[in-house]
Amino acid sequence: MTAPKIQAARWVAYDVLRAVSDDDAYANLLLPKLIVEANLNPQDAGLATELAYGTLRRRGTYDAIIAEAAGRPVEQIDPAVLDALRLGTHQLLSTRVAAYAAVNESVSLVAAEAGRGASGFANAVLRRIGRDDAETWQQRIEAGARSDDERLALRTAHPVWVIRALRRALAAESRADELDALLASDNDAPEVTLAALPGLAEAGTPRRPYAATAFGSPGGDPRRVISDSGGTVRVQDEGSQLVALALAAAAPVRAGERWLDLCAGPGGKTAMLAALALESGAELEANEVVPARAGLVRHAVRPLPIDVPVHEQDGRVFAAQHPASFDRILVDAPCTGLGALRRRPEARWRKSAEDVAELVELQMQLLDAAVDAVKPGGIVGYATCSPHLAETTGIVAEILRRRDDIVELDAREVMTGISRTPIDLAPRGDGPGAGSAQLWPHRHGTDAMFLALLQCTDPERTTS
């Protein structure tokens, strides 16, 4: 078979899988671009999205099935062939795609990418998988699990270390019994949520429950609404919107305040903060160390009638160069991304437990630098798209232990105060981090965003 016989939607999905595997690409950024480039109609765009996201989401489970059917570990399979097998397995076991189409087009992908010899191997493996249904394969791979957590990992397509981290995070709220609901929510495709930038656009319907700026996409396809708004409406998770809104609401804004988004890419929170700054007479600057992501930040703020300088430096260096300079700083720190597994399904396979320590060190350094860059009475918002305790309350506890020039504000109270409807933010004990706010996909329908608010109490600090 030749490449032209392969449906365009499958090519797009396969290209996303290859980019994620080879280049650590972000599927949620790459997929829309490839859909436009391939000129897919809405139906094919929906198919490409389901194939790419569905395959990425359940990759660990599919790898176990492929290894069983192939009689060899997936590490011994050529990566280009493996991605095609994953795509075919998803179609065979988790969609209504006809088995012959799932097998034939996946084999054609292998032939186009790796040659006819490899396509024979792929054909044999996929036909073996297609002989049994999903439940039979699930029972087969779970039978080889060495622990209850391994069985749960295979059933829910979450690495064991992620399951354990999520369980501990829920237990910190005395809600460990919600683990099954959380894991199931991670595997649900999220609804599209839009943000109407304050003062520049009005939220449409259906309204989301918490952020005054958040609403659903009529008909599911947001492109028309976004285009008609001139960029003052954009896709943004409600949890992300709440983080920016809470930082602005943490204390009354005085005209002329200087704000900083220290780790700004890709720019969603930056745009929200820019609109809020415009409304309140504040100024905003942004910083992003990765040039490509800095370009996304510039694109995000371009529609706003406010000048937002976007710097391209290591956040630690930039903050050190601006001591006691800003009234509010958002540190949306690089993290494991465990809070956005619905939207970035590949994130669960991208990191390992060993990566957490390095991320925590970076998070601590960024937060420490941000505290030095805030004025007396200024506020630092520390946020992660992760509920992992080492990246959330662990960081807050450590910064409060190290420094006597900051106090923790009650982010739960601030977020509750700006929410349109009652929001269930579980208490987090009495120690450091007790005032932090943790959102959850299964409880709030948002990404699992974390926010802590820290205020500088040093009256002697010299401002620049």
Query: What are the backbone dihedrals phi and psi of residue 71, each rounded to the nearest 5 degrees, phi first?
Result: 70, 25
* Residue owning tokens 């009475």: 377
Alpha carbon 210 to its chain centroid, in Å, reads: 19
Residue 207 backbone dihedrals phi, psi, to 5 degrees: -75, 145
State whether the Cα torsion 141-146-150-151 is positive or negative: positive
How far are the Cα atoms of 10, 105, 365, 413 from residue 15, in angstroms, in the given order?
A: 8, 14, 36, 45
In 3D, which of 81, 104, 90, 103 has the Cα closest to residue 55?
A: 90
Which whole-number Å values give the CA distances from 252 to 304, 414, 425, in the listed order? 23, 12, 23
**46/221 Cα distance (integer angstroms):** 10
Are 286 and 326 in contact by the 8 Å Cβ rule? The answer is no
Query: Which of 263, 335, 385, 456 does the annotation list as catalytic?
Result: 385
Annotated active-site residue 385? The verdict is yes
**Pairwise CA distance, residues 68 & 62, whole Å:** 10
Residue 215 — φ and ψ, nearest 5°?
A: -155, 165
Under 8 Å CB-to-CB from 226, ≥6 apart: which residues?
194, 233, 234, 235
Asked if 77 contacts 66 with a C-beta cutoff of 8 angstroms, the reply is yes
**N-term to C-term CA, the chain:** 67
CA distance 425 to 135: 36
CA 321 to chain centre: 30
Q: Are 226 and 235 in contact (CB under 8 A)?
A: yes
Do residues 331 and 451 lie in contact, with contact meaning Cβ atoms separated by under 8 Å? no
Helix (H, G, I), strand (E, B) or coil at 351: coil
Catalytic residue list: 385
